[in-house]
Structure 1
Amino acid sequence: MKLSCLRPLAALLLTLGLAACGGKASYEVAGTISGLNNEGLILANGSDTLPVPAGKTSFTFAKRIDYGTDYNITFKQQPAHMTCGINGGSGSAGHYINISAAVTCSQNRYTVGGTVSGLTVEGLVLINGSATTTVAKDATTFTMASSVAYGDPYGISVSVQPKGLQCVVQPGTEKGTMGEANVTTVKVACNPV
C-alpha cells in the first residue's frame, strides 16, 4: 500500500529534477496594436509570420521561443494606406518576464496644393477645414501647411482676400478625397477688383 503512494511522488520528483537540469522556459512573442484600421498588416519574427486583421488590438505569434533566444519583430507587409512602427520589438527572451512589443499604426498623410495666378499683393489666406495657409505675394504655387490623411475629404477655399484682388478657387479643383499621393491640382485665380 505504501509503495503505491510513493511511486507517483517519485515520478513527480524525477520530472521536476529533469526539468530543473535541462528544461528551458519558453516565451510567447506578443504585444499590443493601436490604430490598425486597414487590412494587410503582416508581422514577422524570423520565419514565423502573422497576418493581423484590421481592428485587432493585440497579437501573439504561434511559435514560442526558448530562454536566451533572440526575437526581432518586423513588418513583412504594412497595412493598406497606413504606416506602422514597433516599440520593444527586439531583444532576448528571459530578460523580461513577458515579451510585449507595441505596434502603432497611422493613416498615411499627404499634402494639398496647386497653382496661383495673378497674386500681386500680400494677404491671401487659404483654408482647409480649420487649417489656414498664407500665400506669399507673387507666388505661383502653394502647399497647405497641414497634411490630410488618406481617405479623408479636403476642401480648399479663400479665407482672407488680398487687398484690391478677388481670388477664387476654380470649381472642380477645390475639393476631393485624399488618395495615395500629394494633391497638386488645386487652381487659385486672382483678379483686380
Structure 2
Amino acid sequence: MKSSLIRPALALALAAGLAGCGGSDKAEFVVKGTITGIVYPGAVLMTNGMELAIAPPATPGAPVTFEFPNRLEYGDVYNVVFKSEPNNQSCFTPQNTIPNFNDTAGRLAEIAITYACAVDPYSIGGTISGLTADGLVLANGSTGGTITVGKPAAGVTTPISYTFAGPVLFGTTYGVTVLTQPTGQVCTIANATGTMGAANVSNINVTCVAAPS
C-alpha cells in the first residue's frame, strides 16, 4: 500500500524538478497589430524570417488587423518592417514616423503594433505664356486651391512656371480652370484635366492672348 503511494509522489517530484530546470514550455509572444488607411494592395510586412501579405479592407482606409503565424520566445529581438508598402501609399508608426517597429519580446506584456498609411500626394502645375497683365487667377477643382499670377517684369518674355500649393492624391482627378482672366486678355489651358498618377504633373500650360476688341 505504501509503495503504491510513493511512486506517484516521486513522479510528481521529478516533473517539478524538470520544470525548475527549464523542462516547462517557454513563454511565447504573438507579433500582431493594426494598420489604418490602407487603400491599395501590395503591402507585405516581415520580421524574424516571416512575411505577411496585408490585403486592403472592403472599406478603403478601415482598420486592418494582422498577426504573424509564428511565435517568438522571451528575449527574441524583432524588427517589423514593410517589405513593400501598399501601392502608391506611404506608411509610418506613430512612435517613430518611419515604417518599422523593433523591440524585444517580453519587455511588454504583448506585442501590439500600430501603423497608419496615407495615399501619396503629388503636385500639379505648368507654364504660362503670353501674360502681359495682372489679374490672372487659376483654380484646381479637386482641392479648391487657387493661385494668382501677376504679369512678368518688363522685357521678360520667357514662360512663367507655376505650381499649386495644395497637392493632389494619387488616383484623384484634377481640373484646372481660369477663375479670373487678366485685364484685357483671354487665357486658355492645355491638359487642364486628368487623374493623378505616380509623378508630379508639370504640363498644365496656360496661353494668354489679347482679348477680342
Same fold (TM over 0.5): yes
Q: What amino acid does structure 1 have at the position aligned with 2:148?
A: T
Larger Rg: 2
- The equivalent position to 2:173 in structure 1, one of 153, 174, 187, is 153
Is 1:90 paired with 2:102? yes
Within 1, Cα distance between the matches of 2:146 and 2:19?
A: 67
Change (3 A) 1:169 1:26: same
Q: What amino acid does structure 2 have at the position aligned with 1:169?
A: I
Does the 8 A contact of 1:24 with 1:66 survive in 2?
yes
Name the SS for the 2:133 alignment partner. coil
Match in the other structure for 2:145: 131
Residue 74 of structure 1 deviates from its aligned partner by 0.7
TM-score (norm 1): 0.85
Within 2, Cα distance between the matches of 1:34 and 1:67?
A: 28
- The equivalent position to 1:115 in structure 2, one of 127, 145, 148, is 127
Match in the other structure for 1:162: 182
Within 1, Cα distance between the matches of 2:68 and 2:50?
A: 7
Is 1:184 paired with 2:184? no
TM-score (norm 2): 0.78
What does the per-residue CA deviation read over 1:109-143, in whole Å, with 9 as the maximum and x for residues that have no partner? 11111111112233322111211122243262211
What does the per-residue CA deviation read over 1:8-38, in whole Å, with 9 as the maximum and x for residues that have no partner? 9x65x86676556534311111110101111
Does the 8 A contact of 1:39 with 1:54 survive in 2?
yes
Matches within 5 A, 1:1-193: 7=8, 11=12, 18-19=18-19, 21-22=21-22, 23-55=25-57, 57-87=64-94, 89-129=101-141, 130-138=144-152, 140-170=160-190, 173-193=191-211
* Residues matched between the structures, number: 188
Residue 86 of structure 1 deviates from its aligned partner by 3.0
Return 5+ residue gaps in structure 2 as ranges.
58-62, 96-100, 153-158
Q: What amino acid does structure 2 have at the position aligned with 1:135?
A: V
Which structure shows the bigger proportion of residues in strand conformation? 1
Does the 8 A contact of 1:87 with 1:101 survive in 2?
no
What does the per-residue CA deviation read over 1:42-90, in whole Å, with 9 as the maximum and x for residues that have no partner? 1011311111111161111111111111111111112212112234511
Q: What amino acid does structure 2 have at the position aligned with 1:73?
A: V
